[in-house]
Chain A
């Protein structure tokens, strides 16, 4: 455990050194927040209550999303590119020799990165949004706590999916294509483009049970009080935890297949 904490701290520190890049990212998230906020105002003016949100809740969705994008690696970034590069160059052999679990090691590093980006890139856009627009942020500390738990579970689901991408490099060699495809799917099915509650009909029901919903839609709904009541909150967090277990499990299976492949190739 101490080891993984140290790895996570390393991930945090590594991203903390990119001061200018972080400031630039904050600027970008804020600019996008404003643009998307205006489009949502137009949309919710036309259709009040769309997707079960009033306008203040829709705007909260916009700004909290902007704060979570970098942490959840929802629009790209994250560890998988580094991982794939290490597979390509063979450096992954070093990772395999370590007296640590490969998946846990990278999970710790990615959570460290996410923790930094949650603070470094999350706070300022949300404050900017709260100053410029009427948001529906809850006053209840319990709900904030549940939101935080939900965010962490969302980060684990995001990691678990990207770990599968990382491992794909053992077979594909070049990960650029598959990363891009995964990015497309994540942006659309997590709720970055539009809250998943706005997606119509059976298609909407489908996208709300896919793992990507666990990354953004569920934490947002927890924050907005869509899961008030202990049972409903437990259901939401359980949905996320379920996907986290399934995907981490799939990662372990694929990992053992991948590492066998390394031995066959001789590293």
Chain B
């Protein structure tokens, strides 16, 4: 059943608050938590208003005194407006602040470029000690929120806005461990986030129909990056294709290219949002299509890059 990752986060956190008095939820007027939710959380929920730098600073101060804050904001505001407070107050001090960033990637839909977050993975994943995860569905979100209780340092979680489909059953999502959703020796398709991972799975199905076997990796954790799994998958394959809702630079594709350049040079083709600001109105699905972050694009990319002769005569 389709479910929004941000709602999965909220619904997982609320019962955890009751069991873990050190947890505290700091909101920046995002509207994710209703008055009823807030009342149920008591003093463990605070709406600090529309002030993201202060949100991160207060979270750091609380964490320095033994609390474990979950802070709610939109990814666009966490990754740019509040970035310095995240860098200096949270990451520098290695404090266990959980940055729960909604509207990641193109999820803000028609709200436009001010609300899209297409740089967040690039800027967050370079911060020393920062764990960066992109759950691909509600179940993974629940798992990551629960696993965060054992994480001593800071965490950035990129969430969506509207309901997104669940992934098919696969290995359990664990922070720091890539999920191999499908195995094949001809090409590696690697993605993070709901739509890109589903696009890769659909592309792998299409390619298999034409004799090209793809490994599909859900690289939900960009830091610490599971280089071992990526390298093992890429070793037999001449090509890795990455897909993400992010500008092409610095995000998942960047992480994959960096890791493979150092460990096992392999051709990497990066599919992402083109190097421009969102220029059309549309919901997330429309924008994903508009920027061609689709299964068809993945298939085309693979066909063009591999020996197309091997696929000649096929229709995809």
The answer to whether A and B interact is no
